[in-house]
Amino acid sequence: MSEGKTDKHALVFIFITIFIDVTGLGIIIPVAPKLIAGLAHVGLSEAARYGGWLFFVYAGMQFLFAPAIGNLSDRFGRRPVLILALVAIGIDYTITGLAPTIAWLFLGRLLSGMAGASYTTAGAYIADVTPPEKRAANFGLIGAAFGLGFIVGPALGGILGQYGVRLPFFVSAALAFANATYGYLILAESLPKEHRRKFEIWRANPLGALLALRRFPYVLGLCGVIVLMRLAHDASPATWTYYTMLKFRWTTAEVGYSLMAVGAVTAVSYGGLTRLIIPRIGEVRAVYVGLAGGALAFAGFAFTTAGWMMYGWMLLFALASLAMPALNAIMSKEVGPSEQGELQGAIASVGSLTSVGAPLAMSYLFAYFTGDGAPLYFPGAAFLAASLCLVAAAIAFACVKPKPAAKSSHTAE
């Protein structure tokens, strides 16, 4: 890539790669609760606990392996690491689709967590092919691909789930393998050999990755904001299906349609709002707007009294998409080209460490306040907790002081 120019073809490649990957993930969400309930022989409220432990295993593996994946991509390039991760995800979906017991679901999550660095590598890829001043908008492409994937995926999952709760997993496996094949045949390498560095084991583990960030105090301070954002984020995947099925009696198809709507809003927001709003208000203000919008939307989800109201709160939730691309852009400007993979791996590790406990905590909040012994029946407890986390994230962001150079570049936008 020439200096100051974005490789648009590479961005298209990475967008399609993430889109296909997220479509495969979205397909299984509407049917996962019923598969868990069937294998564990429990009701939906108790199945949410198992779902929380499955998230725990997945996030734990990501926490342990994300720094290694990021450092490997700094050593060998983004392309091979991304392709191998996608193959492993396809194997995970196959194992899950064939699972005869609940233990096999945990085995699949172990493998998927180890390989779940495709998004991390994609972030480093985008940093490779994008000049610093355009990174916030292009990091938004990852969110747009997520959004579009969640338009197609949950809709397909809701439809396919009517023909069997295992069928969506096999379709997801096929998409993951097709995605890996696409990457092998089409995806170009983004990291030139002169920008690669040797693999160092001390930097390729969670503790080493976080210690390496001590060279960048501002980035390290922002990790606290990411922790609180991730705590809030995990309320949705951990409880959305259980919440809507229990409170509104939604079917798998209706859950699929709702997630499709979330995907549509997310895609428009990441693909459009990030490019329109962030350059005009600057990355710092965009973080505040995103956190405020997310906090209000989660509170709305928690207290809504009718299923159709969930769709209204989704529109406000669109603003939340501004926060992470802006944060990612701010942090990426603090490190050099040979350390983008390490940075993305460290960010993923921080997020995954949070997700080791967050989905478990959120699913247990849901189970506790919907169980027989609940002191107060309140299915929206997890969403309210997510709202409070984003308020705390805004306060934490205000307390982190950027370096003078970074501050001036933001205000100049």
pLDDT tens digits, 270-293 = 777 888 898 899 888 999 999 999
Query: Does residue 1 belong to any structural domain of this protein?
Result: no
Lowest mean pLDDT among 99-113, 156-170, 236-250: 156-170
* Residue 32 neighbours by CB distance under 10 Å: 24
Is residue 194 one of the residues assigned to a domain?
Answer: no
pLDDT, tens digit (0-9, with 9 covering 90-100), for 80-99: 888 888 888 888 888 888 88
User: Residue 214: helix, strand or coil by DSSP?
Assistant: helix
Asked if the model's pLDDT at residue 314 lies above 60, the reply is yes
In-domain check, residue 209: yes
Alpha carbon distance 135, 126 (integer Å): 8
Higher pLDDT, 177 or 253: 177
Distances (CA, A) of 207 to 201, 210, 215, 346: 11, 5, 14, 9
Q: Is residue 408 over pLDDT 70?
A: no
Residue 160 lies in a domain: yes
Q: Would you put residue 77 in left (φ > 0), alpha (ψ -120 to 50) or beta?
A: left
Please report which helix (H) or strand (E) contains residue 404, including its range.
Answer: helix 404-411
Q: Is residue 182 one of the residues assigned to a domain? A: yes
What is the structure's pLDDT at 202? 59
Q: How confident is the model at residue 352 (pLDDT cuts 50, 70, 90)?
A: low
Question: pLDDT-derived band of residue 355, with 50, 70 and 90 as boundaries?
Answer: low
Task: Tell me how far apart the alpha carbons of residues 144 and 272 are, in angstroms, rounded to a whole number.
Answer: 8
397, with CB counted inside 10 A (0-12, 13-18, 19+), is buried
Q: Distance (Å, rounded) from C-alpha 67 to C-alpha 343?
A: 9
- pLDDT band for position 169 (50/70/90)? confident
Q: Indicate the number of domains in the chain.
A: 1
Q: Please indicate, yes or no, if residue 192 is contained in any of the structural domains.
A: no
- Is residue 380's pLDDT more than 90? yes
pLDDT, the chain, mean: 79
**Helices 283-303 & 323-332 angle (0-180, nearest 10):** 150
**Residue numbers of the domain that contains 244:** 8-187+204-411
Q: Which pair of tokens denotes residue 58? A: 């997945």
- The CATH number given to whatever domain includes residue 46 is 1.20.1250.20
Whether residue 231 is contained in a domain is answered as yes
| CA-CA-CA-CA torsion sign (305, 307, 312, 316) | positive
Q: Which of 113, 118, 105, 163 is nearest to 145 (CA)?
A: 118
Q: Is 312 among the domain residues?
A: yes
Which residue has 């994230």 as its token pair? Answer: 393
At residue 236, does pLDDT exceed 90? no
Q: State how far Cα 3 lies from the chain centre.
A: 30
pLDDT at 154: 73
3-state secondary structure of 333: coil
Residue 277 to residues 136, 272, 316, 323, 325, Cα–Cα distance (Å): 11, 9, 15, 11, 12
Give 151-212 as a 3 state SS string: HHHHHHHHHHHHHCCCHHHHHHHHHHHHHHHHHHHHCCCCCCHHHCCCCCHHHCCHHHHHHH
Q: What is the model's pLDDT at position 247? A: 92
Alpha-carbon separation of residue 103 from 31, 184, 369, 378 (angstroms): 18, 32, 27, 30
Lowest mean pLDDT among 45-49, 288-292, 400-404: 400-404
